[in-house]
């Protein structure tokens, strides 16, 4: 199926975004230039132990993307393909940092297409300066009061510092 068959190009960029990093923000900004509308969808992943609640992650994403008019921030708890149907979207955006990401992302893309043959996944490679960056690394650095100011937007840095200060109280 060619991209012309999709009409308005609504893409969904799903993830846990715990926290949103500059790497995520780079993928969001670059994807927003490609698609008519980009829905950044925060997954409530029960297998992870999040630092931020889903509501906090949604709010942080809203703050850091407020200057990108065609980006919508949302959350979901369902299968991604079911969420895509609710949003009338057929395109998934996934960021690739390194070759090691590809195997997992290919498996997920194949599974999503098996569940709904109208869903396509677009892989966007990370900008080289963010190719090592992950939310897990950022949390680990911040947990031990290391500098994350160049790794996350300022509002996220402040929110993380507040979380870790409160955790120590």
Domains of the chain: 3-131 (3.40.50.620)
* 76 to 4, 163, 169: CA distances (angstroms): 27, 23, 32
Q: DSSP assignment of 85-119, as one string?
A: HHTT--EEEEEE-SHHHHHHHHHHHHHHHHH-TT-
For the segment 107-147, what is each residue's pLDDT rounded down to a tens digit?
A: 999 999 999 999 999 999 999 999 889 999 999 999 998 99
Q: Confirm or deny that 24 is annotated as ligand binding.
A: yes
Predicted pLDDT at 2: 43
57 counts as catalytic: no
In the three-class reduction of DSSP (H, G, I as helix; E, B as strand; rest coil), residue 48 is classed as coil
In the three-class reduction of DSSP (H, G, I as helix; E, B as strand; rest coil), residue 167 is classed as helix
Q: Confirm or deny that 105 is annotated as ligand binding.
A: yes
Q: How far, in Å, CA of 164 to CA of 144, rounded? A: 9
135 counts as catalytic: yes
- Strand segments, DSSP code E, in the chain are 10-15, 37-43, 71-76, 91-96, 120-125
Q: Confirm or deny that 51 is annotated as ligand binding.
A: no
Model confidence at 15, in pLDDT bands (50, 70, 90)? very high
The crossing angle, in degrees rounded to 10, of helices 135-143 and 154-168 is 50
- Residue tagged active-site, from 31, 97, 126, 139: 97
Model confidence at 7, in pLDDT bands (50, 70, 90)? low
143 counts as catalytic: no
145 counts as catalytic: no
């Amino acid at each position: 199926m060619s991209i012309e068959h999709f009409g308005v190009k609504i893409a969904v960029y799903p993830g846990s975004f715990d926290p949103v990093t500059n790497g995520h923000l780079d993928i969001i900004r670059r994807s927003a230039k490609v698609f008519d509308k980009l829905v950044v969808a925060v997954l409530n992943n029960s297998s992870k132990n999040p630092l931020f609640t889903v509501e906090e992650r949604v709010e942080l994403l809203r703050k850091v993307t407020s200057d990108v008019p065609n980006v919508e921030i949302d959350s979901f708890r369902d299968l991604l393909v079911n969420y895509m149907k609710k949003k009338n979207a057929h395109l998934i955006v996934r960021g690739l940092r390194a070759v090691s990401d590809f195997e997992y992302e290919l498996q997920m893309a194949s599974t999503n297409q098996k569940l709904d043959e109208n869903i396509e996944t677009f892989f966007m490679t990370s900008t080289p300066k963010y190719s090592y960056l992950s939310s897990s690394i950022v949390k680990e650095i911040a947990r031990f009061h290391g500098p994350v100011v160049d790794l996350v937007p300022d509002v996220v840095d402040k929110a993380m510092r507040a979380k870790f200060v409160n955790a120590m109280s």
